Structure 1
Amino acid sequence: MSTEKAAPRRGTDWIGYNLKITQHRLRQRLDAELARLGVTAPQNAVLLAVAGNPRISNAELARAAFVTPQTMQGILVNLERGGLIVRNPHPEHGRVIMTELTAAGQKAVADGAKAADAVERQMLSRLSAEEARQLCELLKRCAAALDD
């Protein structure tokens, strides 16, 4: 029996490390593109979530934007001040606040989606369409495995 220890892997050999580097570079590029539009990545995530569901709760918005509920409150205030959303009490449930996009908010959603698509196309530019599809499926499976 050998008593030699296997050499530790270098950081660049770890999938998690490479995933983090990719996520970091993706976020930097997306932040730069969205900054040109006058929104941040969390604000963009909120706008997209509201576009899909105007009755979405603040807690669900916080999860969608990967921020705390306290941070979400600040994001909503800034989006409202910027004229991208309006918030009103639900007509039937007084404690529920509905968040809706303004015309400017709808334009910001469309522009943000275009920016995100462009950044993702750049990230995937060295992969075939099939490799990109496989990567997406594999990442979903990895995420699901960590939820177990």
Structure 2
Amino acid sequence: MKVYFSHPSLAYHTPTEEYAIRLIKEELGAKSIINPYDYRGKDKKRLGTFLESSDAVVGMSVYETYPYIVWNDLEFAQTLHKDVYTLTFPSDHNEKIELIEGIVDEFAFLDAHETDEFYNKILKRQSKGLLSTLLFGKLAKKDNVF
């Protein structure tokens, strides 16, 4: 099975991305995972071709929210009659990351501008954590990306 993994750029090359890919392989039996990060800076139309050639599409939600590119990829996959899944990154860090079949209608769907604002809030929160770590010696959770 070939799976296209649509996820926020904030997760690229992080422990969260590694965990998500491992989960997709285990849960779906994926032999091949197409990761948009591997094609950054290249023609974006190629990504659509990769999505079309996949057997399934997994989109990562963050804090019960679908970033713009993620929900667009999932909806496009549905028009192609692909199997779609949501990989949840819950706002409650005590909950585990899960792979759910389909799109979760109760989650927020952000437009491009809202997605940028959402990412900026996450980055500000992360930089505050980094600053407190540097100033006060607090250790952040190793696997906490968002």
Tell me the TM-score normalised to structure 2 length.
Answer: 0.28
Q: Between Structure 1 and Structure 2, whose CA radius of gyration is higher?
A: 1
**Greater relative contact order structure (CA < 8 Å, 6+ sep):** 2
* Higher share in strand: 2
* Higher share in helix: 1
Tell me the TM-score normalised to structure 1 length.
Answer: 0.28
